[in-house]
Structure 1
Amino acid sequence: MKKKLTIKEIAEFSGVGKSTVSRFLNNGYVSKNVSEKIEKIILENNYEPNVFARGIKAKNNRFIGVLVPCLDSRITSTILMQLDNRLKSLGYIPLIINTNHNILLELSNLDNLSRLNVEGIVLMATEVTAEHKNFVKKSKIPILFVGQICNETYSIVNNEEKAGKIIGEYIAKSGHKNILYIGVNENDALVGSIRKKAVLNELIKYNSKIDFITSDFSFDETEKLVYNYFKNKKPSCIICTTDNMAFGAIKALNKLNIKIPDEVSIVGFGGYKVSDLIVPQLTTIRFFNDLTGKLAAESIVKLILQETIPKIQTINFEFLKRKSVSDTHN
């Protein structure tokens, strides 16, 4: 089998420059004589051009970059599936990149997508830093943030303040005074800060005593933190920033033979389908993540087509009052 040639080798065998070969491959102007030389070399050596690389460097290439912090999150995967399906139905091709919650990798891939000349970027950012803002200011590519607010561009977010208020009020009115709040780093402005403050503002109205633990969104880390915390303390209720963290907390309580909700109540945010299956069923906020994915696809395409959309679009939710919270008044 003959070795497939590179553009450099084709140029050398044809006696022309690499830029001439590149123009030929991209249907640019090349003289008839030179075209015949290049074509002869290509046919003789079984050269196959990288169609993807050629296409993405062209204008109006229909590629949209999608940066996500992880692929194993139920929320991320739901949004991503709907985003992917809707973009394809609109005639665009998503280029999905996982950043593993690494901000430096996130910023690096923003630069990479910009150099690839994608038509738009959808970013599910870990957090919004000064570097993110500077990139948006300098970029000529439409950029849409999902799950974070970047004032320099467009955003789609959950109604965190209203959701937090409902959870905080519900727990307080259920009579819980001694509460553990398991949050995440407040650099995550919406989930780590706004959601937390909305919950606490309601609890404070009822003179609740609140302890805090900071986790990292993960099941395993939350399980470990809760297990160690309950060796010395026992609040009547745990409020978790996400359902996934709530599942970790539930596992720790089960290991300690602490009954839910008879001894300790627990709530989450997310509304994952698995929260319907655990016993007792988890009281939680279910965000409409499928709607977020569809709206993100439609919004980035509108920005590419220079159509007007709101600067911030807010996704609503439903409160699922289940069996994991006891009413201490009864």
Structure 2
Amino acid sequence: MKKQRKITIADIAREAGVSAMTVSRYLNGKGPVAASTAERIKAIIERLQYNPNWLARSLSSKKSMIIGVTIPRIEHALLDNYIAQILSGVTDVALQNDYRIMLLPFNPEHGTDNEFSNWYHSKMFDGLILLKTMHRDPRIKSLAEQKIPFVLANHKYYAPDVHFIDVNNKLGIRLAVEYLVEKGRSRIAFVAGDLRETNARDRWNAFCKTMQEQNLTVNKEWVMHGQFNQEIAYRESEKLFRAKTIPDAVVCSDDYMALGVIRRIKERGLRIPDDVAVIGFDDIEIAAYIQPALTTVRQPIEKIGRLAAESLLKLLNGKADQPIRRLLSVQLIKRESA
């Protein structure tokens, strides 16, 4: 069988009636290409199923064509639906722009101030997306001071040369508490995430503020610290149901912790939502399929990853408005658990 010849930039240029340099400018996103010409080149690329030589492009552009993405060094991190959805959004944008991603496991609690910047200077990747970093992590400050291209995903940090994509966490918790009050609930407990993360801090602060606005008391005995961990939330939530008076609703900072709380409530022989209503945060895929289906605050997790990648590419191409700061909207999804 005759081996099929590999399609080249020259072939694309010949078909489009333009120079190879024009095709190269279109592929690299550098230099002017008329809109009509770009459409013609794109159609020919798709018809001929042209696949650019990734290594050659990286050598010619002096870029690695790789985006680094930090993920926490925890057990089963890639099985976490939240992390998987973020990575899905990042990967889609990366592949559409002929980039690849490199996963960079790190310890969110420990590391030298220059850990991330040293990775960058090793030329392994062109820029960074930081996922699951802690509040005021000095490694973030080091990146900003050295003007290294990076974007925080689901983390809010107002400082020069720091770019982030986050959601309106405070609105999400306010919607959850107000909904429970409308349903006649007044003894509302809270399961906090890791308060070293900005989204956990925002959700906790919003809970306290909204409870005050609703003339409700935040009972310290009904505040659990689940650390964004299902097993910890399950273990800690036992304390919620020991006393003679128990909460009639629980708001959780993420869905995994809500799953742990639901498991504990069922073991206590209580009914959901009749005895205790439960609301989560995220709307991970399994939330709609557990029994009872979980009422939760939906944040656009995959979109966070997608926008983080798009923002990083703008930084890499010098096309970003400084600074990039996006707060995406959230939505209360009403299901059976509340």
Length-normalised TM-score, structure 2: 0.74
The correspondence for 1:287, drawn from 299, 304, 317, is 299
Is contact 2:81–2:285 with CA below 8 Å preserved after alignment? no
Is contact 2:67–2:102 with CA below 8 Å preserved after alignment? yes
1:161–1:131 CA distance, 2 compared to 1 (3 A): same
| 2:214 paired residue number | 206
1:277 to 2:289 alignment: yes
| 2:196 paired residue number | 187
Is contact 1:59–1:117 with CA below 8 Å preserved after alignment? no
Q: Residue 266 of structure 1: CA displacement?
A: 0.6
The correspondence for 1:63, drawn from 47, 66, 79, is 66
Q: Residue 110 of structure 1: CA displacement?
A: 4.5
| 1:86 paired residue number | 93
The correspondence for 1:161, drawn from 166, 170, 176, is 170
What are the within-5 Å matches in structure 2 for residues 1-330 of structure 1? 59-69=62-72, 70-99=77-106, 101-104=108-111, 108-116=115-123, 118-129=125-136, 131-150=138-157, 151-152=159-160, 153-189=162-198, 191-210=199-218, 211-232=222-243, 233-309=245-321, 311-325=324-338
State how far apart, in whole Å, the 2-side matches of 1:134 and 1:287 are: 27
Q: Residue 103 of structure 1: CA displacement?
A: 3.9
1:220–1:100 CA distance, 2 compared to 1 (3 A): farther
Is contact 2:167–2:329 with CA below 8 Å preserved after alignment? yes
> Which structure would you say has the larger Rg?
1
Is contact 2:113–2:139 with CA below 8 Å preserved after alignment? no
Is contact 1:154–1:311 with CA below 8 Å preserved after alignment? yes
Offset from partner CA, 1:226-265 (integer Å, 9 cap, x none): 1243122511111100010000001111111111111111
Offset from partner CA, 1:200-235 (integer Å, 9 cap, x none): 222222222323111211111110111243122511
Q: Which runs of 5+ in 2 are unaligned?
A: 1-53
Q: Residue 59 of structure 1: CA displacement?
A: 3.1
What is the identity, as a one-letter code, of the residue corresponding to 1:199?
F
1:291–1:281 CA distance, 2 compared to 1 (3 A): same
Is contact 1:119–1:141 with CA below 8 Å preserved after alignment? no
State how far apart, in whole Å, the 2-side matches of 1:212 and 1:206 are: 17
Is contact 1:64–1:118 with CA below 8 Å preserved after alignment? yes
Q: Residue 95 of structure 1: CA displacement?
A: 0.9
Q: Single out whichever of 111-120 and 153-162 deviates more from structure 2.
A: 111-120
State how far apart, in whole Å, the 1-side matches of 2:117 and 2:144 are: 13
State how far apart, in whole Å, the 2-side matches of 1:286 and 1:106 are: 34
Q: Which runs of 5+ in 1 are unaligned?
A: 1-50, 326-330
Is contact 1:71–1:77 with CA below 8 Å preserved after alignment? yes
What is the identity, as a one-letter code, of the residue corresponding to 1:67?
T
Is contact 2:127–2:148 with CA below 8 Å preserved after alignment? yes
What is the identity, as a one-letter code, of the residue corresponding to 1:286?
R
Q: Residue 281 of structure 1: CA displacement?
A: 1.4
1:272–1:125 CA distance, 2 compared to 1 (3 A): closer
Query: How many residues are treated as equivalent by the alignment?
Result: 271
Q: Residue 175 of structure 1: CA displacement?
A: 1.9
Is contact 1:168–1:202 with CA below 8 Å preserved after alignment? yes
Is contact 1:185–1:192 with CA below 8 Å preserved after alignment? yes
Is contact 2:193–2:225 with CA below 8 Å preserved after alignment? yes
Length-normalised TM-score, structure 1: 0.75
